[in-house]
Chain A
Amino acid sequence: MEPIIAIRDLSKSYYRESLEIPVLQNISMDIARGEFLALMGPSGSGKTTLLNLIAGIDRPDAGSILVNGTDVPTLNESELAEWRAQNVGFVFQFYNLLPVLTAFENVELPLLLTPLTKKQRREHVEAALGVVGLGDRMNHTPKQLSGGQEQRVAIARAIVTDPTIIVADEPTGDLDKRSAEEILALLERLNSAFEKTIVMVTHDPRAADRAHVQRHLEKGELL
């Protein structure tokens, strides 16, 4: 199958004062269109850094990342922002919803950057919240929702722009077993029913088992 993400010779280091800390070293991998990939590895293995690089929120020191034909690291900040808005849906471990906004408004946020009309935005938001099963919680603020519901709102926010890929960083890491199960089922459904390419970072082997492919990182190298 044609890879939607093609990573070649990717390296990334962080610097603490003058000390160089290599995080990723010469990573090369392909992720096929419509794949559900789990990135696993111990803390500090570089899996979140790899996810950030794929999603265009960090820049590599060397190497290339082609996502749907776009060499992401070559884009400038403004192009990168636009590219992220159109191509990437983010799901974070701690949901990262804006607490002052309702579920509807949180999901609507990415659409404010599009030329859609208010009516069209409403249709998109309602559809996304319907997919995650929160059509009846649209006017609830994050405080009025459970952890699982908050994560479902975050997933609705991630899919509302119909992105090319969905990146999820420990999406079940802050949830109880039952809520985690619901989120994983939802991600599976997005992958199978809507053919979304999903890259998920997780520590949890049970979560990883739901993915089609598992890749392991250790000390910045792909095993």
Chain B
Amino acid sequence: MKVFKLIFKNMFRHKLRTALTIMGISIAVMAFALLRTVIGAWYVGIEATAPDRLITRNSVSFIFPLPVAYRARIASIPGVSNVSYANWFQGVYIDERNFFPRMAVDVETFFDLYPELLLPAEQKEDFKKQRNACIVGAKTAKKFNLKIGDAMTVDGDIYPGRYTFIVRGVYTGRDRATDETQMFFHWAYLDEQLKRDMPIRAGYVGWYVVLIADPAQTAAVSAGIDEIFRNSPSETKTETEKAFTQGFISMSSTIILAIQFISYIIVGIILLVLANTMVMTARERIMEYAVLKTLGFRTLHIAGLITGESLLIAVIGGAIGLAITFPITAGIGEQLSNIFPVFLVETSTMATAMSFAIMVGLIASIVPLYRAMTTSIVDGLRHAG
């Protein structure tokens, strides 16, 4: 018989209590992992950014456009190897709830600047050839059962009017962090409509995407771009794609902070659940610890039994919690795909959740350990009778 066997047998002495404790820890770990996944989903855009891409936007605000004529001047800046541009189109596809990013892009350059968007060459060519063609991400195609050749009618809101697009390609993500929900169509197609219906809004882009040859030159190139448009009607602000994305996320920082806070409260709840069980357990076994000491077992052996049991409960609870996190995350991710295009449990989330479970297992054993270590054999034996 080994000590581990005794720990295991002790753990199931009160099957219902242990089962409820493990269940409590499992649910708490699952909730913790889920909340951390939500936070991760918020930040996944940063993970998807490239160090050699800069974003140039209107210095006043992202919602103010920039003239399309800036493209050639940006391209002339030393260190710039390619320039593309896009407009946030938005619109409503079938129903307002069907949110996914819809953008008008420069078809000639856009996919060259985003190599993580994998699109077969023939689909890319078909996209370029047809003025009202569009490309959709694999997740959106799957969700709305869109196939190549299908028509997509989108009612514009930022750009009023009814737009009909033909799906000419479906892209997939190269990396797990790549958003596969977006839809891209010709900027020129949008501009044509604007020239006809709202000429004052034609000839503008939402932002420029600037590819630089050397990421080490980010500061110099950014300053160079902004410098040439200083004192112009539309001054620019150029920053790394990462900083640009972080700017968006910072708008939700209070919500993220609240979620983080709740996730740590959950860790506290796990601690209380397990600590309660361990305190009850130790109180019931004071006599047994005294008997073991009488037989020659040392304080360290007793500490091993208590901490071992606490850790085992925490680890089993943590493992079950993580196991149930995956199907639950998949289900929630499916429901929230319009808000969080990438909703995956990160390895770091699993490691953090498991680390917290282990930490809780250790902390929960402190009080019972102290009691078992400071109770004399004589007092412990009296406890029995």
Contact surface of A with B, Cβ cutoff 8 Å: 52, 55, 57-58, 77-78, 81-82, 84-86, 90, 92-94, 96, 98-101, 105, 108-110, 112-113, 157
The reply to whether B287 and A96 form a contact with Cβ atoms under 8 Å apart is: yes
Q: A52-B378, A101-B1, A108-B1 are in contact. Are A96 and B296 (CB under 8 A)?
A: no
The reply to whether A112 and B10 form a contact with Cβ atoms under 8 Å apart is: no
A109 to B297, CA, bound (A): 9
Task: Encode B139-167 as 1/0 by CB contact (under 8 A) with A.
Answer: 00000000000000000000000000000
Tell which of B9, B296, B378, B381 touches A101, judged by Cβ atoms closer than 8 Å.
Answer: B9
What 15 new A-B contacts, CB under 8 Å, besides A57-B378, A101-B6, A109-B1? A57-B294, A58-B376, A58-B377, A77-B298, A81-B297, A84-B296, A85-B295, A90-B291, A92-B291, A99-B13, A101-B9, A109-B295, A110-B296, A113-B295, A113-B296
Given the complex, which residues of A lie within 8 Å of B384, measured CB to CB? 92, 94, 96
7 contacts between A and B (CB under 8 A): A52-B377, A58-B377, A81-B298, A85-B296, A96-B291, A100-B10, A110-B296
Q: A81-B298, A94-B385, A100-B9 are in contact. Are A105 and B1 (CB under 8 A)?
A: yes
Q: How far is the CB of B65 from chain A (nearest CB, A)?
A: 74
Q: How far is the CB of B381 from chain A (nearest CB, A)?
A: 7
Q: How far is the CB of B9 from chain A (nearest CB, A)?
A: 4
A209 to B9, CA, bound (A): 41
Q: How far is the CB of B276 from chain A (nearest CB, A)?
A: 21
Given the complex, which residues of A lie within 8 Å of B260, measured CB to CB? none
A216 to B10, CA, bound (A): 41
Given the complex, which residues of B lie within 8 Å of A57, measured CB to CB? 293-294, 377-378, 381
The reply to whether B378 and A112 form a contact with Cβ atoms under 8 Å apart is: no
Instruction: Tell me the chain B residues, 283-304 only, with Cβ under 8 Å from chain A.
Output: 287-288, 291-299
Instruction: Tell me the chain B residues, 331-380 only, with Cβ under 8 Å from chain A.
Output: 376-378
Given the complex, which residues of B lie within 8 Å of A85, measured CB to CB? 295-296
| B330 beta carbon closer than 8 Å to chain A | no
Tell which of A55, A77, A98 touches B291, judged by Cβ atoms closer than 8 Å.
Answer: A98
Given the complex, which residues of B lie within 8 Å of A86, measured CB to CB? 296
Tell which of B3, B299, B385 touches A77, judged by Cβ atoms closer than 8 Å.
Answer: B299
A101 to B2, CA, bound (A): 11
A58 to B294, CA, bound (A): 10
- A interface: dominant SS: helix
Q: How far is the CB of B162 from chain A (nearest CB, A)?
A: 74
The reply to whether B1 and A78 form a contact with Cβ atoms under 8 Å apart is: no
Q: How far is the CB of A7 from chain B (nearest CB, A)?
A: 18
Given the complex, which residues of B lie within 8 Å of A100, measured CB to CB? 6, 9-10, 13
Q: How far is the CB of A44 from chain B (nearest CB, A)?
A: 13
The reply to whether B299 and A112 form a contact with Cβ atoms under 8 Å apart is: no
Q: A94-B385, A99-B13, A101-B6 are in contact. Are A84 and B294 (CB under 8 A)?
A: yes
A43 to B129, CA, bound (A): 105
Given the complex, which residues of A lie within 8 Å of B299, measured CB to CB? 77
Q: How far is the CB of B207 from chain A (nearest CB, A)?
A: 67
Given the complex, which residues of A lie within 8 Å of B297, measured CB to CB? 81, 113
Q: How far is the CB of B3 from chain A (nearest CB, A)?
A: 7
Given the complex, which residues of A lie within 8 Å of B13, measured CB to CB? 99-100
Given the complex, which residues of B lie within 8 Å of A58, measured CB to CB? 376-378
A99 to B376, CA, bound (A): 22
Residue on A with the closest CB to B8?
A100
Q: How far is the CB of B288 from chain A (nearest CB, A)?
A: 6
Given the complex, which residues of A lie within 8 Å of B377, measured CB to CB? 52, 57-58
Residue on B with the closest CB to A14?
B378
A55 to B291, CA, bound (A): 13
A175 to B296, CA, bound (A): 27
The reply to whether A90 and B294 form a contact with Cβ atoms under 8 Å apart is: yes
Task: Encode B106-117 as 1/0 by CB contact (under 8 A) with A.
Answer: 000000000000
Q: A57-B377, A58-B378 are in contact. Are A110 and B295 (CB under 8 A)?
A: yes
Task: Encode B1-41 as 1/0 by CB contact (under 8 A) with A.
Answer: 11100100110010000000000000000000000000000
- The 4 lowest CB-CB distance pairs between A and B, nearest first, are A85-B296, A100-B9, A57-B377, A96-B291
A55 to B377, CA, bound (A): 11
Given the complex, which residues of B lie within 8 Å of A84, measured CB to CB? 294-296
Residue on A with the closest CB to B377?
A57
Residue on A with the closest CB to B9?
A100
Q: A58-B376, A92-B381, A96-B384 are in contact. Are A112 and B294 (CB under 8 A)?
A: no
Given the complex, which residues of A lie within 8 Å of B291, measured CB to CB? 90, 92, 96, 98
Given the complex, which residues of A lie within 8 Å of B3, measured CB to CB? 112
A77 to B293, CA, bound (A): 10
Given the complex, which residues of A lie within 8 Å of B293, measured CB to CB? 57, 81
